Amino acid sequence: IAELRLNELFDVRLDFGPAIMQHAETLAGWSDSDYNLTCAYLTPAHRKTAAQLADWMLEAGMQVHIDAVGNVVGRYLSDAPGAKTLMTGSHYDTVRNGGKYDGRLGIVLPIAVVRHLHERGEKLPFHVEIVGFAEEEGVRFKSTFLGSTAVTGRFDLSLLEQCDTDGVSMRDALAAAGHEASAIGAIARDPADLLGYVEVHIEQGPVLLERDLPLGIVTAIAGSSRYLLHLGGVASHAGTTPMTMRKDAASAAAEIILLVEQRCSQGEALVGTVGQLQVPNGSVNVIAGACTLSLDIRAASDAVRQAAVDDILDGITAICARRQIDYQLELLLSARAAPCAPWLMAQLAQAVESVGIAPYALLSGAGHDAMAMAAITDVAMLFTRCGNGGISHNPLETMTADDADIAAQALLHFLRNFQPK
């Protein structure tokens, strides 16, 4: 025991930061684009990223496999008879032109911590499983959380027929990457084996930065509704069609975008975004005959979110009726807000205190794999401070090696002291 205590003292001086930052940097070297970091589901860059994560997990003393949906799964096994599993992880896909830490931090940071335990021959009374989720962002196909829903047994198999913008179906993309789509159902984990799921993630916002805090503990993840809205007007001559005789899909879209902005400015912890907007086959001299836009509406409270969604959908109906525009609404996601488990939050708070930081609780406006995992086990999240004013989903996303180290020290303490519910 004396030796263990001594080693724990030495741990305080061990700096995890540089290795974590270096690993995030290495992964950022594989991209679908020559100009920025884009790592979409099952592209060559994505598969290389998976292989690298698997190598690091192996080096860290874990049992590793890549499952049928592309999740990279590493298990640091316990010797304890009947040991159950504490799961951690995050996603390794990125948005287009994304940052280096969104998702990846929650994989490379626990790997660094497990490697440390392994190098010391230190076993825990439970298995630690790190999952690099293959897909969370919904960039290549329209659906999100493909990796984590497979783990929870909630992967919708009808999605296999969805096609990317090049017309490649998810089923074919999986086959091309060497995955067996028919094995996705078998990924589902038995909730009885799980002690919980704890995800480390960069905050992606300015709250911790403004409070001068390196770490924060998430109280809940905001719920989210996503739609694709297809507007149909009449494409006609821009020079000859009088202003009063137009059915302009782009003008209808403009009104709808402002409606989303106005309605979502009235509600607590409510946000609404139109992040995609297209006039398919548009020309400078043709009135927009069609327009497609995305809607993303989020709130801490499901009731607040639903009220905003209802008002916006009513508004769309009214705008389209007045402008004689046809519309079709495609629901992409409806995810309830996911509260974090108080017992896990309390243990994370102790871990944060152990590294000399006052525990600070905050809401996550961003979606995370923890949201999906909450369907089968208790979840919690540890946020790290996001630099550059808190910008994320942007190449300017940044964090410091010091903060990575502090988060890793906190996770190490959390694992060593973890008490199942």
Q: Measured from the CB atom, is 289 or 367 closer to ligand GLV? A: 367
Q: Among 93, 102, 129, 405, which residue sits at the site for Mn ion (rule: CB under 5 A)?
A: 102
Contacts of 324 (CB under 8 A, 6+ apart): 233, 247
Element (H, E) at 26: helix 17-28
**126, 162, 277, 321 from 236: Cα distances, Å:** 66, 32, 20, 19
Alpha helices (runs of H) in 217-341, residue ranges in sequence order = 249-263, 302-323
Residue whose structure tokens are 């996550």 = 364
Using CB under 6 A as the criterion, what x/- string covers residues 383-412 for binding ligand GLV? ------------------------------
- The CB-nearest residue to ligand GLV is 367
Q: Are 301 and 268 in contact (CB under 8 A)?
A: yes
The phi, psi pair for 288, rounded to 5°, reads -65, 115
3-state secondary structure 164-230: CCCCCEHHHHHHHCCCCHHHCHHHCCCHHHEEEEEEEEECCCCHHHHHCCCEEEEEEECEEEEEEEE
Q: Measured from the CB atom, is 53 or 291 closer to Mn ion? A: 53
Does position 367 bind ligand GLV by CB under 6 A? yes
Q: Among 17, 74, 103, 289, which residue sits at the site for Mn ion (rule: CB under 5 A)?
A: 103
Does position 366 bind ligand GLV by CB under 6 A? yes
Rg (CA), the chain: 23
Q: Measured from the CB atom, is 371 or 376 closer to Mn ion? A: 371
Q: What number of chain residues touch ligand GLV (CB under 6 A)? A: 3
Partner touching 367 among Mn ion, ligand GLV, none, CB below 5 to 8 Å by kind: ligand GLV
Choices 8-16, 33-41, 94-102, 167-175; region in contact with Mn ion by CB under 5 A: 94-102
Provide the minimum distance between the beta carbon of 30 and Mn ion in the complex, in angstroms, as a whole number.
17
Task: State which amino acid sits at residue 293.
Answer: L
Q: Measured from the CB atom, is 108 or 366 closer to ligand GLV? A: 366
Provide the minimum distance between the beta carbon of 295 and Mn ion in the complex, in angstroms, as a whole number.
18
Provide the minimum distance between the beta carbon of 74 and Mn ion in the complex, in angstroms, as a whole number.
19
Does position 137 bind ligand GLV by CB under 6 A? yes
CA distance 45 to 24: 14
Q: Measured from the CB atom, is 103 or 205 closer to Mn ion? A: 103
Residue 186's CB is within 10 A of a number of other CB atoms, namely 11
Provide the minimum distance between the beta carbon of 67 and Mn ion in the complex, in angstroms, as a whole number.
19
Binding site for Mn ion (CB under 5 A): 102-103
Binding site for ligand GLV (CB under 6 A): 137, 366-367
